[in-house]
Each structure stands twice: as C-alpha cells, then as structure tokens.
Amino acid sequence: MCLKSDKELKTGSKGLEFELLIPANNKNIALKAIKAGADAIYIGYSKYGARVQAGNSIEDLIEIIEFAHQYRVKVYITLNTILKNEELLKIEKLIWHLYNIKADGIIIQDMGILELNLPPIPIIASTQCHNDSIEKIKFLEKTGVKRVILPRELSLKQIQEIRKHTNIELECFIHGALCVSYSGQCYLSYAIGGRSANRGECAQPCRKKYSLKDAQGKYLVKDKYILSLKDLNLSNHIEELIKAGITSFKIEGRLKNEAYVVNTTSYYRHVIDNVLSVLNLNRSSQGISSCDFEPDLYKTFNRGYTNFYINEEKNNLATVDYTSSIGEFTGVVQNVKKNYFSLSNNILNNGDGICFFNENNELSGTNINKTEGNTIFPAEIKGIKQGTKIYRNYNKEFDNKLQKAEITRKIPVSIRVRETKFGYLFFMEDSEGNCAVNIISKKYEQAINKEKALTTMELQLSKSGGNIFEVFKTDIKLNNIPFIKVSGLNEIRRILMNKLIRIRKKNFKQNISETPVLITPYPKQELDYKANVYNDKAELFYKKRGAKVTERAFESLKNHKNKELMVSKYCIKKQLGICPKQTNIKKYTEPFTLIDEFNKEYLVEFNCKECVMKIISMD
C-alpha cells in the first residue's frame, strides 16, 4: 500500500507541504500512528485537553516527540478547553515546558492564553473557536495564530472563499465522528448533567434517544437517535480539498483504539500519497511506511459514512435507528433454521461480531460461533429472519491482523563508496542533505573475485536491520576492489547510520512561531456566552480588541432559561423529509419540542433561510 518511488526523496523540501494529522490517545498509539505514516499527531497532556480521558504525562510526551522528530513528524498538544482564572498560571508554565521539549504547536480555544507570557510556540485555533467566517479567520491570522482548524460543516466553496481572502494555514477534518452542533457552540451536555464539552467532559448527549412532538402534542419521532450523525469520510475528496486550500488533513479519534488509528492512518496515507504524486506535491514528513495488511475503513469502527456538507447540504445524515458501529454490509439472509442461517457468498468467520435491525427496526447484535460454507451458527438467532440484512461490526481476523501487524517506517538514504589517498570513503546522505562520512584507512587485501566482493559490499551496505533508514541507492566506484569481511561491512554501515542519526538530531530545527501576539480589532463589538469567555484574561483579550463581553461562558451562568444549547447545520426536518424547501406537505404544527430520556423538554427552532437548527433550554 505504500509508495516507494524517488518522489519520496522530495519530502521535506522547501515550499508548500501537506500533512496527514492523526489522533493519539496514548504513547503506544502515537508511536504506531507515526510508524503507519502520520505526518503529524495531536495528543493531550494530562489536563486542559478537550478529552479528559485522553491525557498523557510529560515523560511520555518527551518520548513521543523525540521519536516523531526522527521522521520530521510534528506533535501538537491539545490545550483546547476553556480555563478558570486559577488555571492560567499553571497552563503558562506548562506551555513553556512543552516548548522546551520541542512540541511543534499547541491547539487552543481560550483566548485568555494569548494574554499570558508565552514562548514562540505556534498557536493553532481549535475548531471550538468557531472559525466559521472569513472575518473571524482573518482576525486570528492578524493576531498571530499560525493555523485555524475549520468547522466540519463547511463546503468546498466556503473553504475556497476563506483561502482566497486569507494566508493562514487551514486544517480540516476528513474522517471520523461528527458533532451535530458547531464545535464550541454546544452546551447540551452541561445543561443535562453538568459535564461541559468546552471543559473536555462531553457526555455525548447527541448519541442518546430523543422524541420529537409538535405544538399539538403529535409525536413525529418516538425514542430515536435523531441527533446522532453518521461518521465523516472524505477519502474521495482529498484532491479537491488540496485545490481548495487545505494543507492539513485531520482524522478524528483521540478516544479511539489502536486498531482504528492504525487502519485509518494506513488507508489515508495511501490515498494522500497517490494524490500528492499526481499533483507533484510534497508531504511534510519523511519516511516510507510499510504494512502487512490491507487497510479498510469499513472494517473498524464506523456508524456508516457521509461526506457531510463538503458538496453542499445532504439528506439522511443521521443514524436515527442506531448510534454504535455498524461495520460492513455482508449480505441478506437467505434461510433461517432453529440455530443457524445462511448467506450467499458468505464472508463471515468464527468469532466475528454481527449486527442487524430487528422487527422493531432496532439494531441488535450477536457473535458467530461457527461457519460452514454459507451456513452461519450465531450465538443468538433471535431477531434474524429471511431477508434480514447482516452487517459485520467486528472482524476477528482483521482485528488480529491489526494487533499483530508489522509496520515499519524507513527514511530513504543513499550510500557512496570512493577511494581516496586517505583510504576508503563511505558516505551516507538523506533527502535533507544530512551527511555521515566514515573513512577507513585500514589496508585491505585486494579481492580475488572482484565481482563477488562488489556484490557483497553492495548487499551488506544496503541492509538496515532495526534502524530507521532504508538504503535505496548504492554508488560504488573503486579502482581497487578490497576484500572486506561481512562483519566489517556491517560495522561500517552501523557506524554510518548511527552518525547520521546524531547529525539529523543536531540539524533538526524546532518549529517556532515568528509572529508575536498582536492587537487587532475584533469583528464583533459585543460578545455573549457563546464566546466562551471563562476567565479574566480572556475578557481582557477581547477588551483590548474593542469587544465588550456582556456575558461570561455558559458554565458561569446560573440561569439557563431560553439559552441556545445547540446550533446545528443539521436539520431534523430535512432528516424526516418534512423540509418546507423540499415538500409542500405540512402535517405538523410548530414549534417543536425535543424530549430526552429523562423527559426533559427543549424547544427546537428553525431558521430556514440560513438552514440552521437551534435547540433551546426551556428551564
């Protein structure tokens, strides 16, 4: 699945470069993601990241960063929660510590951080900053932010417009779970149970069941997952996104497991490499990744896929009948007996997990105990009937392959051998121009079988073993062919590679910000709770830029009545096929009321002109 052409040697050259950005829950996943082909990873410290369950120690971060920088892979640290006053000095010290261990950037939401005494570490504006307008992104660029992470809801046309009017780096999500609300603008989790999404504690209420009734009390939906979206998959849109102005392609999933990360990284590495090769463009890191399995996005966690709004608005974005992974479609049940069923062209194996929709259209599942040809013996036959569609949401064989996968990443180098008056010169060079030299002044006997000696020399010098290098080219030009034992050649190669590792480390240039934090007018004059201002420094930041904070963050408010808890481009009306733009039939009376599993009610408002849905607190 990995490209092994001379084009790989262009990586790391000057000019526009593109990165595949991978999530990591912990050190082990981070190292696997790097081996599998990540150009950059994003990972959390033990505090202040938007995923409280995905934290790591400084010691682990040091190890990850040192490993990553061998391949010129960048490591971004997520510090994208809103902060209390008493946390500001702690995070300032932490940021200096991250800078000193050579972290490549920090992802933030809280603008109060920009009022601190910061090192020249690159700042990345989280998607939770609500970077949805050209004006907002231009403001962040003028302020000194290096990159903005765009909302998932943007279309290609909107991205093109942003690129046309800005020069800041643009990052976008290309795969993984979708938030139904604009990121940073969802307060439903806090309103329901006091767990703030903007503090990294989202309880994922969008993945729960809800009912929907109209003003006359008529139920349009009863106990369905009407806020749960399918997963994003833009693997077929990479070239379009590059041409639109994206340079960083982000996969969601800091809470996902190792199998998911390895599979998606390997898959997108192949896709992006192919596109970059066609467009004659460079990736931002070095090294050729190789794996001994065939990546498949349908074989690891997914709720079914959508390209969301990349090509304008779409219907059927939600998975109203289920919220867990559905996996891959395997076939339709042909026959059912007491303890088995049959599929034509069966691909299921012993130990697989399957799911299906029962007679109540609810997603059910079971495991496979045994298969005999097209006959499948499940652990539980209940709910499976003739005509039932069977999905495999756990592929045991594939999962085992991922667990045992041999994944390597090698940096291409060349070796030259020459004869000088000082002795034999062995010269190793990488694509950055880093060079290691080993001069052997020892007097060797001349080889009797010159052809065999040259072949042996080339073979032994080309080996890499457990090293990070792969010799793609050897250039041996000698007048006198020496006889050098295999052990001697191996030692020469080992010395060269160790020298080159040290030289690469010495010549590594830390990713720093050359732009200070500047004061530039904010595009709005007044900011309410949706600006997520949670501390005095954040309020000062906006005050300096001409904006008055009229209301602190939602988490600071005592009264939530009539507050917008969620703003979404996703529309329940469209999902249910009752969008007034698509049908003249009106079998309901507005306003709508959304009812959660605790019978708590919320008002649902629709701005059909702008195609936006809002969920509003009623108490």
Retrieve residue 103's tokens. Answer: 């972290």
pLDDT of amino acid 117: 97
Backbone angles phi, psi at 263, to 5 degrees: -65, -50
Short-list 368, 109, 321, CA closest to 221: 321
The answer to whether residue 383 scores a pLDDT higher than 90 is yes
pLDDT of amino acid 315: 79
Confidence bin at 465 (pLDDT 50/70/90): confident
pLDDT of amino acid 16: 80
The answer to whether residue 110 scores a pLDDT higher than 50 is yes
The answer to whether residue 270 scores a pLDDT higher than 70 is yes
| Strand 282-283 versus strand 219-224 pairing type | unpaired
pLDDT of amino acid 8: 39
Rounded to whole angstroms, how far apart are CA atoms 237 and 306? Answer: 12
Rounded to whole angstroms, how far apart are CA atoms 155 and 234? Answer: 12
Short-list 589, 590, 612, CA closest to 603: 590
Q: Residue 163 CB: number of other CB atoms within 10 A?
A: 18
pLDDT of amino acid 443: 87
The model's pLDDT over 529-546, given as tens digits with 9 standing for 90+, comes to 999 999 999 999 999 999
CATH number of 314-394: 2.40.10
The model's pLDDT over 196-248, given as tens digits with 9 standing for 90+, comes to 999 999 999 999 999 999 999 999 999 999 999 999 999 999 999 999 999 99
Q: Residue 536 CB: number of other CB atoms within 10 A?
A: 13
Short-list 174, 153, 179, CA closest to 264: 174
> What is the average pLDDT score of the chain?
93
Domains of the chain, residue spans: 15-178+231-291, 314-394, 413-507, 526-617
Confidence bin at 47 (pLDDT 50/70/90): confident
The answer to whether residue 164 scores a pLDDT higher than 60 is yes
The model's pLDDT over 308-327, given as tens digits with 9 standing for 90+, comes to 999 987 778 999 999 999 99
Mean predicted confidence (pLDDT) in 349-371: 95
The answer to whether residue 561 scores a pLDDT higher than 80 is yes
> How much of the chain exceeds pLDDT 90, in percent?
88
Confidence bin at 13 (pLDDT 50/70/90): very low
pTM over 0.85: yes
| Structural element, H or E, at residue 542 | helix 536-544
CATH class, domain 15-178+231-291, is alpha beta
Cβ atoms of 56 and 43 closer than 8 Å: yes
Q: Which residues pair with 476 in a beta bridge?
A: 417
Short-list 123, 122, 186, 124, CA closest to 153: 186
* Burial annotation 494-532 (CB, 10 A radius, 16+ → b, else e): eebbebbbebbeeeeeebebeeebeeeebebeebebbbb
The answer to whether residue 9 scores a pLDDT higher than 50 is no
Backbone angles phi, psi at 328, to 5 degrees: -110, 140
| Structural element, H or E, at residue 402 | helix 396-404
pLDDT of amino acid 581: 84
Least confident of 47-56, 93-102, 541-550: 47-56
Retrieve residue 548's tokens. Answer: 């008055």
The answer to whether residue 6 scores a pLDDT higher than 80 is no
DSSP string, 564-604: EEEEES--HHHHHT--TTT-------SSEEEE-TT--EEEE
Rounded to whole angstroms, how far apart are CA atoms 357 and 349? Answer: 20
Q: Residue 413 CB: number of other CB atoms within 10 A?
A: 24
User: By CB neighbour count within 10 A (0-12 exposed, 13-18 middle, 19+ buried), where does 467 fall?
Assistant: middle
Confidence bin at 586 (pLDDT 50/70/90): confident
Confidence bin at 49 (pLDDT 50/70/90): low
Residue with the bigger pLDDT between 53 and 9: it is 53
